[in-house]
Amino acid sequence: MNYRKTLLAASIITSLCVSGVLYAQDTTQSTDTSATKAQQKKAKELATVTVVGIRDSEAEALQIKQAAASHIEVVTAEDIGKLPAKNVADTLQRLPGVNISSSSASEGGFDENDRVSLRGTNPSMTQTLVNGHNIGTGDWFVLSQVQTVGRSVSYSLLPSEVVSQVVVHKSSEAKIVEGGSAGSVDIITRKPLEFAKPVTAEASIGGVYADLPGNTKPQFDGLFNWKNDSNTFGVMVQAFYEKRSLQRNGQEVVGGYNQITAASAPNTVAAHPELNGKYYPNEIGAVLFTQQRERKGGVIDLEWKPTDNLTLDLNGFYSKLKADNYNRNYMMWASSALGGATGGVLTPGSVSNNVVTNGSISGGTNPYGVYDQISRPGASSQSSYLTLDADWRVTDHLSLKGQIGTTKGKGDSPTQDVIELGTAAGGGASWAMNGTGHPINWNLGGDNSSPSGILPSAGWIFGGQDIHVKDSENWGALDGSLAFDDGAISSLDFGVRYADHTRKNPSEIAQGPNWSSNWTDPAAYPTSHQNYPGDFTSSLGGSIPQSIWYYTPGQLAAIDASFANRDPVSRFYFNDIYKVNEKDSAAYAQLNFESGIVAGNVGLRYVKTKENIGYTSTAPDAEAATVQGPITGSAFGDYYWNTFKKSYSKLLPSGNLKFDIRDDLVARFAASQTMTRPDYSALAGSVSADDLTHTGSGGNPKLEPLVSSNFDAALEWYFAPRGLLSAGVYDMNLKNYIGFGNENRQFKDMQASQAAGHDVFSTYLISVPHNVNGHVKGVELNYIQPIGENFGISTNYTYAEGSASNDRPLQGTSKNTYNLSGYFENKRFNARVSYTYRSSFYAGVSRTDTFYQDSIGTLSASLGMTLTDWMSLSLDAMNLNNPKLKYFTKNPAYGEQPSAFYVNGRQYYLSLRFKL
């Protein structure tokens, strides 16, 4: 007769003390229900002793991984505490098959990781859950709010201190919430009754020093947990407050590469006919980005066991990131300098791969430079949820779990104070390119150290205001597990779930100049100014303008208050308005089995989605369910509000098979179909149609969800309690991957309708996201080796190869990713050094350019010392090698050319930690 499985003790309470003790907990948190007797015994033994530091937490994580029936990776709370990690993404980047990125749209990379993706795919294909449920998310950067709007979660809102355990699901199970075609990340928080002592209090105070801005900001987190002696009621409260300064020095090629023609640069073609058809960098900019980030929030959890077989839990989370930022971009404006009959002449120094890689411009009367200053006070993002869970053990064989919850995310850009200024005509300009690995040397004539070299008459005022994006979901779920005493079938898991999810941006005001003001008068502008930091050029490398002047954010706010038109009617910017509502229903059944050395599960998940998509267009969509308009009053033209309704259902099978070949050797096989719904911006992007050419661009509400057919196999050798050698392969066939192309769609031809006196609908060729096929496959290698009692190393390598239809790239696919870390730990000291590398990958589209992020490696380290039984000191260092983020464009006409370079500097976190 088979032993009936108990739930795996899998959640470990974190200690905020870097070298302190992590007290074991009794827990019913489960990552799998089909562990063998021996594995259960090991987990129970580990859960009844004191877990100390890096070594035992690593052993715990490997025990959970080995016991699971599906293919998972695990990081425990003590691991997070010992790593130089300030959010969950920082923590996960060291796992095999995991990639991280520090941006979600085209804002370029920063010093804190923000998105997580699995196995060479884009972040939208990775599902992020908290305690098994979705979490509403927000973005602080304006383009992530209104243009590139994906489904990935912003990890900058998830500090590592709130985590008990993170489980990365690489193979699917029917009971996991759908949405992750590549896999799922489940962040498990702590529960009051899991703590070992009746009263637990922990706190950390410290500061973070960032070397580019050169200042120190405070950091705090604290936790208090109380439970009664009978272990039937407990309350946990946790709070965090983290502030830091960010400075990013950069170079950008804005607008990509322009082609020289007789129409665009007539004087150049006349003087140098050999340049006709060649390309040149349009705008080369020296970019200074500064930001104050303030992350604050907390967790509250109330857990009550009114009876031995019933547990109730109320769990709430809130996190807000205030992200005021200021971006300055001083640019050489080559297309202006060369344009038209009054343009100058480009003299080539060298031409390579159809690009003028070295050149100088002289003559003409056009502006040679342009300068953007953009301040975003009040930029922020936030995330919150509230759940009520009931866990009822109905009988010895039947358990039921119910959950209702609500989650909200927000992204706010209430104000953009902006001015764009042009430099004086002439003055000369030159550049010399150095390949994709080094910034472009460039120079712009005239004075750039004070406003005297800038003319407001050549400028503009722009920027979206009153942007408040909302992401929300309300849901309810009921899950059950029926255990069997006899036979190979150990249990049946089943459940239903319903969710109502909405993502929308209801408003935006695109400011412009108030033409009735004196905004073109140079005397109306401030004469005082500040200048770029002295190390700006040296940090980037190359020869670029230095000591560039700029106005303060307060001065910009005063300028826009005087000269900007922010009328909410005439300046209403309908192009960024959208709303996507999805009602998702799901039901599943999963059989768990075990017989001898074989264990696993098979299951089916049925999903039905009803979509209601609202989007704007300059002509009514003939296929829309409803059309409102024309809506008049906007200076950007008349527009229509289209509503598109559709529904679809999918049956998603999954199976996991595990062989315990020996006590220390495990083989795994898995097959499944998984699903990801299209990004919100792909579904609801505004459509702009041209009646003259019958062409246009926009979103595509008819997109089908991506369905991936997955195969996974792995062999794992647990040769020591803290040792692992494993190899795995995976293959994903992607149906309905989101690519870009042209599509014929019916719109009302406004000009033809007006001429005919009745409605005339025509076929327009619209550039939109569309469904294509894709494929990604790869290999994962993992090696964890203890060395004696106090040392250890871990390293892993992932190879991924992916492509979409017609050999187009898959977003996020780095062919090579590897991690290497080593640690030392004894009773008083601990240290860890970690290095992470990923090769170049396709990052998306910025304006008209297809761009890639180049390969990058980052070095981090942590040191800790136990001062007393209740106090310890830690030092975490991030980006020790001061990595340079590099981006490049790829185009058949001119190959690979540099696009952007960013340096964020190093960060050092010093913390004093207490526990009682």
CA pair distance 6, 158, nearest whole angstrom: 31
CA pair distance 786, 832, nearest whole angstrom: 13
- Asked whether 159 and 114 are in contact (CB, 8 A), the reply is no
Q: Is the predicted pLDDT of residue 110 greater than 60, yes or no?
A: yes
Query: Which is more confident, 87 or 403?
Result: 403
Q: What residue ranges in 506-597 does DSSP mark as E strands?
A: 509-510, 512-513, 530-531, 549-550, 564-565, 578-595
Q: What is the pLDDT of residues 693-728, one digit of tens each?
A: 677 777 889 999 999 999 999 999 999 989 999 999
3-state secondary structure string across 356-376? EEEEEEECCCCECEEEEEEEE
Query: Which is more confident, 707 or 749?
Result: 707
Instruction: Report CA-CA distances (Å) from 342 to 260, 367, 797.
Output: 15, 10, 56
Q: Locate 97 and state its tokens.
A: 């098959």
Q: 446 in the Ramachandran plot: left (φ > 0), alpha (ψ -120 to 50) or beta?
A: left
Q: What residue ranges in 278-426 does DSSP mark as E strands?
A: 279-307, 310-333, 345-352, 355-362, 369-376, 380-393, 398-413, 417-423
Q: Is the predicted pLDDT of residue 113 greater than 90, yes or no?
A: no
Q: What is the pLDDT of residues 761-777, one digit of tens each?
A: 888 877 778 899 999 99
Band of pLDDT at residue 390, cut at 50, 70 and 90: very high
Which sign does the torsion angle of CA 444, 248, 151, 118 carry? Answer: positive
Q: Give the closest residue to 634 by CA, choosing from 687, 573, 584.
A: 573
- Asked whether 102 and 96 are in contact (CB, 8 A), the reply is no
Q: Is the predicted pLDDT of residue 611 greater than 80, yes or no?
A: yes
Band of pLDDT at residue 14, cut at 50, 70 and 90: very low
CA pair distance 64, 69, nearest whole angstrom: 10
CA pair distance 603, 605, nearest whole angstrom: 7
- 273's CB contacts (< 8 A; 6+ apart) are none
The residue type found at 399 is S
Q: Give the closest residue to 334 by CA, choosing from 259, 237, 247.
A: 259
Which sign does the torsion angle of CA 434, 435, 438, 444 carry? Answer: positive
Band of pLDDT at residue 26, cut at 50, 70 and 90: very low
Say how many residues make up the chain: 916
Q: What is the pLDDT of residues 644-693, one digit of tens each?
A: 999 999 999 999 999 999 999 999 999 999 999 999 988 998 776 666 66
∠ Cα 841 544 292 (to 5°)? 65
> What are the residues facing 576 on neighbouring strands?
none
Q: Is the predicted pLDDT of residue 171 greater than 90, yes or no?
A: yes
Percentage above 90 pLDDT, the chain: 67
∠ Cα 795 800 806 (to 5°)? 170
Average pLDDT across the chain, whole number:
88
Q: Is the predicted pLDDT of residue 18 greater than 50, yes or no?
A: no
Q: Is the predicted pLDDT of residue 39 greater than 60, yes or no?
A: no
Q: Is the predicted pLDDT of residue 413 greater than 50, yes or no?
A: yes
Q: What is the pLDDT of residues 319-376, one digit of tens each?
A: 999 999 999 999 999 999 999 999 999 999 999 999 999 999 999 988 899 999 999 9
Q: At what angle do helices 53-67 and 37-46 cross, to 10 degrees?
A: 160
CA pair distance 371, 352, nearest whole angstrom: 29
Residue 643, classified by CB atoms within 10 Å of its CB into exposed (0-12), middle (13-18) or buried (19+), is middle
Q: What is the pLDDT of residue 79?
A: 56
Helix, strand, or coil (residue 78): helix
Instruction: Report CA-CA distances (Å) from 6 to 39, 44, 427, 521, 591.
Output: 11, 11, 78, 78, 16
The residue type found at 915 is K
Q: What is the pLDDT of residue 30?
A: 39
DSSP H/E element including 118: strand 115-118
Q: What is the pLDDT of residue 692?
A: 66
Q: What is the pLDDT of residues 441-482, one digit of tens each?
A: 999 988 888 887 666 555 678 899 999 999 999 999 999 999
Q: What is the pLDDT of residue 106?
A: 66
Band of pLDDT at residue 12, cut at 50, 70 and 90: very low
CA pair distance 60, 74, nearest whole angstrom: 9
Q: What is the pLDDT of residue 324?
A: 97
Q: Is the predicted pLDDT of residue 204 greater than 60, yes or no?
A: yes
Band of pLDDT at residue 51, cut at 50, 70 and 90: very low
The residue type found at 713 is A
Which of the residue ranges 34-43, 100-109, 122-131, 907-916 would you say has the lowest mean pLDDT? Answer: 34-43
Q: What is the pLDDT of residues 478-517, one digit of tens each?
A: 999 999 998 899 999 999 999 999 999 999 999 988 888 8
Q: Give the closest residue to 640 by CA, choosing from 648, 630, 652.
A: 630
CA pair distance 152, 117, nearest whole angstrom: 9
CA pair distance 9, 45, nearest whole angstrom: 10
Terminus-to-terminus CA distance in the chain, angstroms?
47
- 74's CB contacts (< 8 A; 6+ apart) are 31, 61, 62, 64, 65, 165, 166, 167, 168
CA pair distance 182, 708, nearest whole angstrom: 8
- Asked whether 160 and 90 are in contact (CB, 8 A), the reply is yes
Q: Among all chains, which residue has been given the structure tokens 């089995």? A: 593
Band of pLDDT at residue 56, cut at 50, 70 and 90: confident
Band of pLDDT at residue 426, cut at 50, 70 and 90: low
Q: Give the closest residue to 444 by CA, choosing from 603, 281, 554.
A: 281
CA pair distance 687, 644, nearest whole angstrom: 13
Q: Among all chains, which residue has been given the structure tokens 């959640």? A: 11
The separation between CA 788 and the C-alpha centre of its own chain, rounded to angstroms, equals 39
Query: Which is more confident, 786 or 622?
Result: 786
Q: Give the closest residue to 772 by CA, choosing from 810, 722, 724.
A: 810
Phi/psi at 805 (nearest 5 deg)? -55, 150
Q: Is the predicted pLDDT of residue 894 greater than 50, yes or no?
A: yes
Q: What is the pLDDT of residue 197?
A: 93
Q: Among all chains, which residue has been given the structure tokens 């002295």? A: 534
Q: What is the pLDDT of residues 247-297, one digit of tens each?
A: 999 999 988 899 999 999 999 999 999 999 999 999 999 999 999 999 999
3-state secondary structure string across 768-781? EEEEEEEEEEEEEE
Q: Give the closest residue to 57 by CA, choosing from 100, 25, 93, 35.
A: 25
Q: What is the pLDDT of residue 101?
A: 80
Instruction: Report CA-CA distances (Å) from 870 to 202, 203, 315, 325, 529.
Output: 9, 10, 28, 39, 50
The residue type found at 703 is L
Residue 626, classified by CB atoms within 10 Å of its CB into exposed (0-12), middle (13-18) or buried (19+), is exposed
Q: Among all chains, which residue has been given the structure tokens 């871990």? A: 794
Band of pLDDT at residue 160, cut at 50, 70 and 90: confident
